[in-house]
Chains A and B, each alone.
Chain A
Amino acid sequence: MVEFNILGIGILSWMIFLPVLGMLVIIFIPKAYENSIKYFSLIFTFLLIVLSVVLLLNYNSSMPGVNMPDSFQFREKVSWIDVPIPAVVGEGKIHIDYFLGLDGISLPMIILTALISFVGSIASFSIKRNEKGYYVLYLFLVTGMMGVFCSLDLFLFFVFWEIMLLPMYFLIGIWGGERREYAAIKFFLYTLFGSVFILIAMIALYFSSKDPATGLHTFNMITLMNPAAIIPGSILGGIGTSFRYLAFVALFIGFAIKVPMFPFHTWLPDAHVEAPTAISVILAGVLLKMGSYGIMRVSYPIFPDGAVYFMYPLAILACINIIYGALCAMAQKDFKKLIAYSSISHMGYVMLGIASNTNVGFNGAIFQMFNHGTITAVLFLSVGVIYDRAHTRGLNDFGGLANKMPKYFAVIIVAFFASIGLPGLSAFISESFVFLGGFKNETIRIITIVSTLGIILNAAYILWTIQRLFFGKLPEKWNQLTDINGRELWSTVPLLVIIVVLGIFPSLFINLMTSSVNQLVNFIWHLN
């Protein structure tokens, strides 16, 4: 469906700005009713899920999108800024659109965002201090994330990309753990540092482009993908020029910090460990995907020459991520930090899939983004469960929890096995697709083979963690621990269901994106 309006407003705008509506509602809730704030947040995030189901039902998976403006679905395009600038002959106009649309690459991310936001909302119930501020910022964060995944105008994309930092800074900085101030500012500065490079590349693209239809410079991503829209002789003109490679690298640095890729990953363990549970869930579940999404949405189709040129270094970085992340995870004594490093490792799979430049690899990468989102969300929620009860996350402080907390054990074991990539669970499919893709590409075949080492390391630290937490003798002091409660089950079980169902019927998901992925791969190789 090309357009879909509710009350005259496009459905994607609803998805982006519904949380803002929620913010306003929460801000104006009178003091006497402040206890109900969390339910409002729950309602508004649930509405996002409803909307994303509507999207799914109306989505036509045969329309590829990517670089074809007419096959994007649920499009909305409104002129935002439109001003003539003086004296610059011919292109004397500044034009920015409010331009939204969905294709097979962004749809999975939208669904993931809605899902994780809702789960995070449930997990936020344990926040007791200053709830009003917390939920206002939380919903603002959701707006930023939705905006990034829906935008098709680079300027709009950038604005959402940046404003999402503000709520994140406060959410980590106010409601976080002991070293929250340090973690918050580190996260903020790292990402802003990356944004600088995105901004430069973005402005350079603007001045190198000329929309064939209007004759103006443009921020429209889809137009920028069209080689005919790049002015020959401009900064980023031509194919495979050094400035184009530089711009690709600039964009990559900006996105890689978010993924996070080695060597830009050091903000992640700090941010994860200090953030409250719900925010860790959002961070791992959605935020990291913004980086890899940015690479697939912006870097690759706009600079297909760079995508192929940098295939090898990208694969090496991905390989380092996989193995280094797994080794670091193995060395951790803190449960949350372990999951944080395992995220680095798993995002390495995503990057390997992206670096492979093959249909299978891309499918695997997007599917892995989604799976990592759901699995890591369950894992962080599980860390929250144990931390809320025991007020420690030290892996060596526990043992024998399997008998004490059987339901908890059941939940976490599914997530752990999914994380290892056990057949029958969703991550198995995505990881094998990634490796298939990597193997298919001769340039990076060797690196792919090396990367498979990650699977073993991954299994090693997960199994070791299970052993340390759940087997052996239960220390005396944990005799009072209670099993996972209803609310916590509500936040984890739906995700587990998704993990299992997608493990058995991956085609449900993969069919959504196949045509877009094919289009992207063809487009990249067509131009090289």
Chain B
Amino acid sequence: MQLKQTLDSLNNFLPETTIIITLLVCIIADIILNKKSPITSLIAIAGLLIASYFVSLQIGIKTSIFSGMIVVDPYSVFFKFLFILSTIFVIIFAYASKEMKNSGHKNEHVYLMLSLTLGAFLMSSSINFLMMYLSLELVSLSSYILAGYTKKVKRSSEAAMKYVIYGAASSGIMIYAMSLLYGFTGSMNIFEIGRFLTSNSAGSNPIMIISIVMITAGFGYKISSVPFHFWTPDVYEGSPIPITAFLAVTSSASGFAVLIRFFSTTFLKSYEAINGNWQIIDGVKWTEILIVISVASMIIGNFVAIWQTSLKRLLAYSSIAQTGYILLGLVVANQAGLQAMFVYLIAYLFMNLGAFYATIMISNKLNSDNMEDMKGLGYRSPFVCVSMTIFMFALSGIPATAGFVGKFYLFSALIEQRMLWLALIGLLNSVVSLFFYVKVVKYMFLMRPDTGSTSKIQYGFGNYVVLLLLAVPTIFFGIYFTPLLRIAEASISMFGIK
């Protein structure tokens, strides 16, 4: 019986299995092949594509496997596609990056990225504290190594060290909170915890608020929300840019995956959304906590970003602010908010990866990511800079970009729930954010280049293709966003919730 169940489970575990196999093949290939070979990357991409095929077979399935450890549901399928897409992009980025080439490594980053993706897959589908913790650690461990990838660069090692220390501390806090909850409710399974809290009406027990805050520390660290964000700027600045992009998109999306599932299912009264609104167990105050975190992330992220001169640091603070926006979709605690978050996450994938890729291309040529060095760059490499402009405006939420659609739906969800103040704070924040996003544009186009650096910069054809692959969806989904909405709508269904 047990064996049969495990075998059945394995059937629904094919995407993860594929990634594990790909990872192993990559290691072997890397041992055999010489250093500069792109074949490892190609194998990884092929493996991810196969995995995406297996994920596509899971569309519409809603079941739990491995005796209630992880689930397969539309929600996790959405995130798996998101992770695959961003990992493929980042592997390409890493191949294009000069920083990575000069790191003196073979292709270790490829299998580290794969293992991170594996962890992210598991994070998006776990419904058990143990599994949540283990997968989160898998993601973290992979990202520590990636952050210190260029180990000869001092900043990179420093970044990795900081990352490890913050990571260890926050996951320690989180697992303590989980043990508290386990001791209190007698279960590791989020549904059983919910059931226990409902039947004992224990939602307002002080232990709840303590453990929720502490668990938020663990997840909040992954999504780099204030006040768990202190590692972000240093790590983003110290790591090679492709790794930064990977952390900013895949790793933080995995944080969102587990965070959303944890909050939206654990504390549900009836596992049923009435009129789309979640029925939260009485006394559990997670929305209030998240409102504080979200507003703080937006304000601190946006205001600190204004003073940055390094493009990477600017993007780091912008990511913190973006985290704040995305969280707004969760605090409304209904299906519309969740849908808005999904729309935003897709948009975020394209615009943020795009911004990072443009940064890679710029710093490849300038050997710097300081904005002072980018004066007049728009006239030297117009294509890259126009794309960068698109991504910047998308991140600040100007219409006719995917970023606007994301923000529009987030704020719609808020206003529908009459959280007008929160919507106003968020929108005013996006005005502030425009200031520093436009600063990048200002350096590229409004300022004239310094004398002596006016020659045109040439890039390979492939670079332009990748840039287009990111810029075109950013605009297209801004003008015609039906596909985004449909994907989001199909994905909000979670295991265990009617």
Grouping DSSP codes into helix (H, G, I), strand (E, B) and loop, the A interface class, with mixed when no group exceeds half, is helix
**Do the beta carbons of B427 and A165 come within 8 Å of each other?**
no
**Do the beta carbons of A88 and B336 come within 8 Å of each other?**
yes
Q: Does B189 contact A (CB under 8 A)?
A: no
For A200, give its contact among B427, B480, B486 (CB under 8 Å). Answer: B427
**Do the beta carbons of A81 and B427 come within 8 Å of each other?**
no
* Chain B residue nearest to A201 in the complex (CB): B415
Report A74-97 CB contacts with B as 1/0, cut-off 8 Å: 000000111111111100001000
**Do the beta carbons of A87 and B486 come within 8 Å of each other?**
no
For A81, give its contact among B418, B430, B481 (CB under 8 Å). Answer: B481
**Do the beta carbons of B489 and A85 come within 8 Å of each other?**
yes
* Chain B residue nearest to A94 in the complex (CB): B485
Q: Does B104 contact A (CB under 8 A)?
A: no
Chain B residues closer than 8 Å to A170, beta-carbon distance: 445-446
Q: Does A189 contact B (CB under 8 A)?
A: yes
**Do the beta carbons of B400 and A203 come within 8 Å of each other?**
no
Chain B residues closer than 8 Å to A204, beta-carbon distance: 415, 420
**Do the beta carbons of B399 and A85 come within 8 Å of each other?**
no
Nearest CB on A from B481, distance (A): 6
Nearest CB on B from A290, distance (A): 15
Q: Does A463 contact B (CB under 8 A)?
A: no
CA distance A204 to B427 in the complex (A): 14
Chain A residues closer than 8 Å to B420, beta-carbon distance: 200, 204
Nearest CB on A from B344, distance (A): 15
Q: Does B431 contact A (CB under 8 A)?
A: yes
**Do the beta carbons of A88 and B415 come within 8 Å of each other?**
no
Interface residues of A in 320-358 (CB under 8 A from B): none
Interface bracket on B? 35 or more
Q: Which of B20-28, B155-163, B434-442 contacts A (4 or more CB under 8 A)?
A: B434-442
Contact of A166 with B398 at beta-carbon distance under 8 Å, contacts A85-B489, A88-B275 already known: yes
Nearest CB on B from A147, distance (A): 11
CA distance A206 to B427 in the complex (A): 17
Nearest CB on B from A452, distance (A): 38
CA distance A80 to B482 in the complex (A): 8
CA distance A207 to B400 in the complex (A): 22
**Do the beta carbons of B336 and A162 come within 8 Å of each other?**
no
* Chain B residue nearest to A161 in the complex (CB): B399
Q: Which of A179-187, A365-373, A387-395, A440-448 contacts B (4 or more CB under 8 A)?
A: A179-187
* A-side interface residues, number (CB < 8 Å): 38
Contact of A88 with B445 at beta-carbon distance under 8 Å, contacts A169-B438, A204-B415, A207-B415 already known: no
CA distance A245 to B158 in the complex (A): 55
CA distance A203 to B409 in the complex (A): 10
Nearest CB on A from B261, distance (A): 17
CA distance A165 to B415 in the complex (A): 25
Nearest CB on B from A238, distance (A): 15
Nearest CB on A from B347, distance (A): 15
Q: Which of A47-55, A117-125, A191-199 contacts B (4 or more CB under 8 A)?
A: A191-199
**Do the beta carbons of A87 and B335 come within 8 Å of each other?**
yes
**Do the beta carbons of B400 and A163 come within 8 Å of each other?**
yes
Report A152-178 CB contacts with B as 1/0, cut-off 8 Å: 000000110011011001100110000
Report B421-460 CB contacts with A as 1/0, cut-off 8 Å: 0011001101100110010001001110000000000000
**Do the beta carbons of A83 and B485 come within 8 Å of each other?**
yes
For A196, give its contact among B427, B438, B442 (CB under 8 Å). Answer: B427
Nearest CB on A from B497, distance (A): 11
**Do the beta carbons of B486 and A83 come within 8 Å of each other?**
yes
For B399, give its contact among A162, A184, A207 (CB under 8 Å). Answer: A162
For A184, give its contact among B275, B446, B481 (CB under 8 Å). Answer: B446
Q: Does A231 contact B (CB under 8 A)?
A: no
Contact of A86 with B489 at beta-carbon distance under 8 Å, contacts A174-B445, A193-B431, A200-B427 already known: yes
Chain B residues closer than 8 Å to A184, beta-carbon distance: 446
Chain B residues closer than 8 Å to A207, beta-carbon distance: 412, 415-416
**Do the beta carbons of B482 and A83 come within 8 Å of each other?**
yes
* Chain A residue nearest to B273 in the complex (CB): A87
Contact of A192 with B434 at beta-carbon distance under 8 Å, contacts A83-B489, A166-B393, A200-B427 already known: yes
Grouping DSSP codes into helix (H, G, I), strand (E, B) and loop, the B interface class, with mixed when no group exceeds half, is helix
**Do the beta carbons of B416 and A196 come within 8 Å of each other?**
no
Q: Does B411 contact A (CB under 8 A)?
A: yes
Q: Does A478 contact B (CB under 8 A)?
A: no
Contact of A203 with B445 at beta-carbon distance under 8 Å, contacts A85-B489, A196-B431 already known: no
Nearest CB on B from A338, distance (A): 27
Q: Does B339 contact A (CB under 8 A)?
A: yes
* Chain B residue nearest to A180 in the complex (CB): B446
Nearest CB on B from A160, distance (A): 8
CA distance A162 to B393 in the complex (A): 11
CA distance A450 to B433 in the complex (A): 42
Nearest CB on A from B72, distance (A): 20
* Chain A residue nearest to B490 in the complex (CB): A86
Q: Does B276 contact A (CB under 8 A)?
A: yes
Chain A residues closer than 8 Å to B411, beta-carbon distance: 199-200, 203
Chain B residues closer than 8 Å to A40, beta-carbon distance: none
**Do the beta carbons of B273 and A185 come within 8 Å of each other?**
no
For B438, give its contact among A84, A86, A87, A185 (CB under 8 Å). Answer: A185
For A163, give its contact among B398, B431, B445, B486 (CB under 8 Å). Answer: B398
Q: Does B492 contact A (CB under 8 A)?
A: yes
Q: Does A188 contact B (CB under 8 A)?
A: yes
Contact of A86 with B335 at beta-carbon distance under 8 Å, contacts A196-B430, A203-B415 already known: yes
**Do the beta carbons of A185 and B442 come within 8 Å of each other?**
yes
Report A262-284 CB contacts with B as 1/0, cut-off 8 Å: 00000000000000000000000
Chain B residues closer than 8 Å to A88, beta-carbon distance: 275-276, 335-336
Q: Does A235 contact B (CB under 8 A)?
A: yes
Nearest CB on B from A114, distance (A): 23
**Do the beta carbons of A81 and B399 come within 8 Å of each other?**
no
Report A95-121 CB contacts with B as 1/0, cut-off 8 Å: 000000000000000000000000000
**Do the beta carbons of B442 and A200 come within 8 Å of each other?**
no
Chain B residues closer than 8 Å to A165, beta-carbon distance: 398
CA distance A81 to B488 in the complex (A): 14
* Chain B residue nearest to A90 in the complex (CB): B275
CA distance A188 to B432 in the complex (A): 11
Nearest CB on B from A171, distance (A): 11
CA distance A347 to B275 in the complex (A): 47
**Do the beta carbons of B489 and A159 come within 8 Å of each other?**
no
* Chain A residue nearest to B401 in the complex (CB): A163
Nearest CB on A from B314, distance (A): 16
Chain A residues closer than 8 Å to B336, beta-carbon distance: 85, 88
Interface residues of B in 1-39 (CB under 8 A from A): none
Chain A residues closer than 8 Å to B442, beta-carbon distance: 173, 181, 185
Nearest CB on A from B403, distance (A): 12
Interface residues of A in 277-295 (CB under 8 A from B): none
**Do the beta carbons of A174 and B446 come within 8 Å of each other?**
yes
**Do the beta carbons of B415 and A163 come within 8 Å of each other?**
no
* Chain B residue nearest to A172 in the complex (CB): B446
**Do the beta carbons of A81 and B434 come within 8 Å of each other?**
no
CA distance A130 to B448 in the complex (A): 12
Chain A residues closer than 8 Å to B447, beta-carbon distance: 181
For A86, give its contact among B276, B379, B423, B435 (CB under 8 Å). Answer: B276
Chain A residues closer than 8 Å to B481, beta-carbon distance: 81
**Do the beta carbons of B415 and A189 come within 8 Å of each other?**
no
* Chain B residue nearest to A83 in the complex (CB): B485
Nearest CB on A from B123, distance (A): 24
Chain B residues closer than 8 Å to A85, beta-carbon distance: 335-336, 339, 485, 489
Chain A residues closer than 8 Å to B438, beta-carbon distance: 169, 185, 188
Q: 5 A-B contacts, Cβ less than 8 Å apart?
A: A87-B276, A162-B404, A181-B447, A200-B420, A203-B411
Show the binding face of B for A, using Cβ within 8 Å: 273, 275-276, 335-336, 339, 379, 393, 398-400, 404, 408, 411-412, 415-416, 418, 420, 423-424, 427-428, 430-431, 434-435, 438, 442, 445-447, 480-482, 485-486, 489, 492
Q: Which 8 pairs show the lowest CB-CB distances between chains A and B?
A: A87-B276, A83-B485, A196-B427, A159-B399, A162-B399, A173-B446, A203-B415, A87-B335
Show the binding face of A for B, using Cβ within 8 Å: 80-89, 94, 130, 158-159, 162-163, 165-166, 169-170, 173-174, 180-181, 184-185, 188-189, 192-193, 196, 199-200, 203-204, 206-207, 235
